[in-house]
């Protein structure tokens, strides 16, 4: 059974006339008749009965018409969806780390959707640690991820998109709040509220402490800057965090670090190499790459 046979049958069944159906299908009447007879032979049933110059459906034909109409409707819907995916539509699944949820991801996606060619793109969003997001990316359940760089992943393309300065945050009444900047030794003198050690920034800040021979008194661990800032505000300790919107609040103060070299955390966009991507995903990657070149990352 072919799609052409279903189409020919449907047209003849709805018009109840082989000649008219053949004309509308732009084929000869004998070709239509052969196709219908071949379909009947394959099904082992008679679908039409002649009634003068017209034809009518048999009981089997009526039942078959019900199913043929559903199949043709599904085919039409599939064709329409594929056409949408190849033009201004599409479906994109992205995953990201928590610090990007407040500003960067929403504003970036809104800017992308504001472009005419992307207006019908649909997004699904997922938030998790980088290692979990990477697993989803490799499993094919998401198209893009945003987070820390992961070593020894040759099948993944990592594109740097954001530089986040690393800063110290303190309660507003902390003794160190009067200083303009702080050095790394402060983390040896006060309890520290840290990132969850299994997160990308947890590993990054841990590497910083190790490099400076610091064994901090980690009083608590939290998954994101907003949680860490809340514990700092309540006097649990000080913290080394990325400078993101979540820490700009009235109940804490932010201090830069005194270091010989700039200390920042790099955020990456990542996707699988050498796989087919929907046009919408390709457009999003190009959009983000160009946006970063134009300084869009400053908006985080």
Local confidence band at 119 (pLDDT 50, 70, 90 cut-offs): confident
Q: 145 with 292, same domain?
A: yes
Q: How far apart are CA 107 and CA 100, in angstroms?
A: 10
* pLDDT digits 0-9 by tens, 48-59: 998 887 999 999
Q: 167 with 260, same domain?
A: yes
* pLDDT digits 0-9 by tens, 10-46: 999 999 999 999 999 999 999 999 999 999 999 999 9
Local structure of 165: helix, strand or coil: strand
* pLDDT digits 0-9 by tens, 155-213: 999 999 988 899 999 999 999 999 999 999 999 999 999 999 888 889 889 999 999 99
Q: What is the mean pLDDT of residues 265-271?
A: 94
Cα 52 from chain centre: 60
CATH number at 55 reads 1.10.10.10
Q: Which domain holds residue 195?
A: 163-265
Q: 157 with 270, same domain?
A: yes
Q: 36 with 70, same domain?
A: yes
Q: 192 with 241, same domain?
A: yes
Q: 14 with 76, same domain?
A: yes
Q: 170 with 249, same domain?
A: yes
Q: What is the mean pLDDT of residues 102-131?
A: 90
Q: How far apart are CA 271 and CA 127, in angstroms?
A: 16
Q: What is the pLDDT of residue 104?
A: 87
pLDDT at 248 over 80: yes
Local structure of 270: helix, strand or coil: strand
Alpha-helix runs per DSSP H in the chain: 3-15, 18-25, 29-43, 59-86, 104-113, 130-139, 200-211, 225-233, 279-293
Q: What is the pLDDT of residue 88?
A: 66
Using alpha carbons, list the distances in angstroms from residue 131 to 152, 178, 208, 285. Answer: 13, 38, 20, 21
Q: Length of the chain, please? A: 300
Q: What is the mean pLDDT of residues 215-236?
A: 93
Helix 18-25 to helix 29-43 angle (10° resolution) is 110
Local confidence band at 298 (pLDDT 50, 70, 90 cut-offs): very low
Local confidence band at 84 (pLDDT 50, 70, 90 cut-offs): low
Q: Mean pLDDT score of the chain, rounded to an integer?
A: 90
Q: 79 with 214, same domain?
A: no
Q: 289 with 140, same domain?
A: yes
Q: 117 with 150, same domain?
A: yes
Using alpha carbons, list the distances in angstroms from residue 87 to 77, 277, 283. Answer: 15, 13, 11
Q: 8 with 71, same domain?
A: yes
Last residue of a domain, one of 86, 108, 123: 86
Q: What is the pLDDT of residue 87?
A: 65
CATH number at 172 reads 3.40.190.10
Q: 194 with 244, same domain?
A: yes
| Domain total in the chain | 3
Four-point Cα dihedral 70, 71, 76, 77, nearest 10: 70
Q: How far apart are CA 280 and CA 91, in angstroms?
A: 7
């Amino acid at each position: 059974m072919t799609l052409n046979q279903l189409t020919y049958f449907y047209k003849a069944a709805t018009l109840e006339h082989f000649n008219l159906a053949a004309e509308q299908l732009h084929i000869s009447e004998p070709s239509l008749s052969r196709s219908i007879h071949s379909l009947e032979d394959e099904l082992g049933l008679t679908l039409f009965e002649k009634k003068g110059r017209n034809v009518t459906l048999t009981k089997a034909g009526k039942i078959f018409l019900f199913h043929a109409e559903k199949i043709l409707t599904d085919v039409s819907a599939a064709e329409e969806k594929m056409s949408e995916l190849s033009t201004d539509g599409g479906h994109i699944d992205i995953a990201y780390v928590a610090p990007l949820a407040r500003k960067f991801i929403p504003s970036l996606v809104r800017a992308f959707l504001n472009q005419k060619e992307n207006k019908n793109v649909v997004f699904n969003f997922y938030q998790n640690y980088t290692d979990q997001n990477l697993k989803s990316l490799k499993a094919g359940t998401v198209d893009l991820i945003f987070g820390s760089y992961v070593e020894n992943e040759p099948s993944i393309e990592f594109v740097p998109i954001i530089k986040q300065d690393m800063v110290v945050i303190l309660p507003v009444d902390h003794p160190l709040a009067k200083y303009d900047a702080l050095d790394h030794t402060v983390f040896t003198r006060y309890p520290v509220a840290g990132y969850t050690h299994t997160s990308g920034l947890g590993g990054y800040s841990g590497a910083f402490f190790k490099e400076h021979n610091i064994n901090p008194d980690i009083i608590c661990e939290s998954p994101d800057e907003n949680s860490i800032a809340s514990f700092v505000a309540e006097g649990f300790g000080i913290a080394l965090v990325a400078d993101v919107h979540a820490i700009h609040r009235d109940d804490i103060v932010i201090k830069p670090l005194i270091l010989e070299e700039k200390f920042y955390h790099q955020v990456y966009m990542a996707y699988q190499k050498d796989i087919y991507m929907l046009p919408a995903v390709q457009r999003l990657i190009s959009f983000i790459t160009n946006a970063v070149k134009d300084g869009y990352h400053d908006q985080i």
